[in-house]
Structure 1
Amino acid sequence: MVIRKALVPGGWDAPLGDYRLHLLGSGRSIATTRLRIDWLRRFARAVDRGPWDVETVDVIEWSAAHVWARDTRRSALQSVAGFYAWASERHAVGVDPSRVPTVRASAPAPRPADAAAIARARLSPDWRVRLAVRLASEIGLRRGEVAKVRGCDLVRDLHGWSLIVHGKGGKARTVPVPESIAVEIQGHGPGWLFPGADSGHVSAEWIGRLVGRALPRGVTMHALRHSFATRAYERTGDLVAVQRVLGHESPQTTLRYLAIADETLRAVVEAVA
């Protein structure tokens, strides 16, 4: 039996379509845009009325009615507040975005993959898995960035090879690449490293599932990025450099990736003592 989601109430489809275009036009990624619109559809079904008949108290009551993790609640409320901030410039709305509760991000919970998990995935008979694991665990790429790697994005300078990485929101950055990875990428030609049907390359979801099947249960491809961040910071102590390699806008985001070992914290205290 196929279970279909309830349709959103009348009056939502057109503004959600316009808001989707606004998000994409302002540089939000397809994944972020999809997340925001999905939350708004959930909200619309819950309040069961048109978008211009909703009031701030409806937003608060909707949030209060759910037992969500902090980051889930934060995402939900940000999505609704963002929509009404955009809509207030075009319509008479009953929701005051400034009065929608804000939720702080949860405490950092880094989940780096351990060496055994990475070694296991590196033994995969599928070259795509082996190379994707290296790109995530050795230079810290997101799964969406791995999906978009092209041979022609390799560049050579006086210090060695680097890769132009196509990151979130259409932002590009240049990341140094070990010689062995550069040679392996070159071996697959100048085009997409992982060809597919998503604008010529595979989707982030597809590459994530492919790598995930080679990792132990409960370990995701994103955990490889956490592992890179943790090891990079432990070996260099340079948070800003790690931030730049990962493509984070803020060092606070980078800190959420770092699983700092107890012995490192002890060394800090003993260095002062």
Structure 2
Amino acid sequence: MTNTLWPVPSEWEKSLILWEQYLIACNKRPRTVETRIRAMRNFAREINEIPQNVTEDDIFSWAGRKQWAAETRHSKYVTLRSFYEWYARKNELADPTLYLPSIHRACPPPRPIPEFLYEQSLSDTNSRRTLLILRLAGNLGLRVDEICRANIEDIMPDLLGYSLRVTGKGGVVRYLPLPTTMHRDLIAAADPVTGFVFPGKINGHLSARWVGKIGAQALPGEWTLHTLRHRFGTISYRQDHDLLTVQRLLGHLQVSTTQRYVEPAKEAMRSTILAISI
């Protein structure tokens, strides 16, 4: 396991600072910048080379020692390509990541939390903050990093009441209708100065990682806030069977992504099997 407390070699520090500024200038999301910088700092600690001397063989030797899941390996390779595309161009060097392979990632099936477990978690939660986190994930389908940034300045009046403006991945903005109780509870929980519903030390609000931890602790077993988002997608689709509506509610750019959040109705699958069985 990498000790993230080890200092980054001094030969890397200036380049990583400049690259972080470059990512911000490219309008990358704060969480994307944080994730990529953290990954490159870990790489710098482990590679035992200064950045301009890292070769393709060094990278393959380093990556070949890792027992990563496909999703993790994909993320690491994306980060390495991003850094060295910038670094090689800036310093007129050959890009050592040019032949890093594309990683095939299996599409996992939808995994919505069962309704009785969601209801039980809501019932067992004594903390109003935790309860609101669970409801924003399960009732509105918000991502963890969207929940942590919830602010009453994003509550907008609409023709039928109020909606919450949510800025998701890629800067995609969507408006989610707010039930009366949700609107009331968001207003009541907000910090009177900053307006953040979950005030903290990360630009005035809690970090996404901490919100995810709070949510996971309130759920049984290995269920996470993301499974509540799957719950939202599945239940939403069963209301009117309109995948485009669910796509907009979840803030996806493509319908194919939304399909990974919608679990087919078990009753329909069972009735189909029974109908064709001899």
Paired with 1:269 and 1:160, the residues of 2 have a C-alpha distance of 44
Name the SS of the counterpart of 1:174 in structure 2: strand
Specify the alignment match of 1:256 in structure 2.
Answer: 260
Paired with 1:21 and 1:83, the residues of 2 have a C-alpha distance of 12
Q: Map 1:68-107 onto structure 2 (within 5 A).
A: 68-107=68-107
Specify the alignment match of 1:184 in structure 2.
Answer: 185
Moved more, 257-266 or 102-111: 257-266
Runs ≥4 residues deviating over 6 A: 266-271
Name the SS of the counterpart of 1:107 in structure 2: coil
Paired with 1:93 and 1:250, the residues of 2 have a C-alpha distance of 37
Q: CA deviation at 1:265?
A: 4.9
Q: Deviations over 1:9-40 (max 9, x none)?
A: 44211111111122222222232222212222
Moved more, 75-84 or 54-63: 54-63
For residue 209 of structure 1, the aligned residue among 200, 209, 213 is: 213
Specify the alignment match of 2:140 in structure 1.
Answer: 139
Report the TM-score, using the length of structure 2 for normalisation: 0.85
Contact 1:23 1:33 in 2 (8 A): yes
Paired with 1:40 and 1:148, the residues of 2 have a C-alpha distance of 26
Name the SS of the counterpart of 1:27 in structure 2: coil
Q: Map 1:231-242 onto structure 2 (within 5 A).
A: 231-242=235-246
Paired with 2:273 and 2:93, the residues of 1 have a C-alpha distance of 54
Paired with 2:265 and 2:48, the residues of 1 have a C-alpha distance of 49
Moved more, 34-43 or 77-86: 34-43
Q: CA deviation at 1:157?
A: 1.9
Moved more, 262-271 or 113-122: 262-271
Contact 1:129 1:214 in 2 (8 A): yes
Contact 2:56 2:96 in 1 (8 A): yes
Is residue 38 from structure 1 mapped to residue 38 from structure 2 by the alignment? yes
Structure 1 pair 106/21, CA: closer, same or farther in 2 (3 Å)? farther
Contact 2:212 2:224 in 1 (8 A): yes
Aligned length: 270
Structure 1 pair 40/186, CA: closer, same or farther in 2 (3 Å)? closer
Contact 1:151 1:188 in 2 (8 A): no
Query: Identity percentage over the alignment?
Result: 33
Q: Quote the RMSD (CA, aligned, Å).
A: 2.7
Moved more, 99-108 or 136-145: 99-108
Unaligned runs of 5+ in 1: none
Structure 1 pair 76/216, CA: closer, same or farther in 2 (3 Å)? same
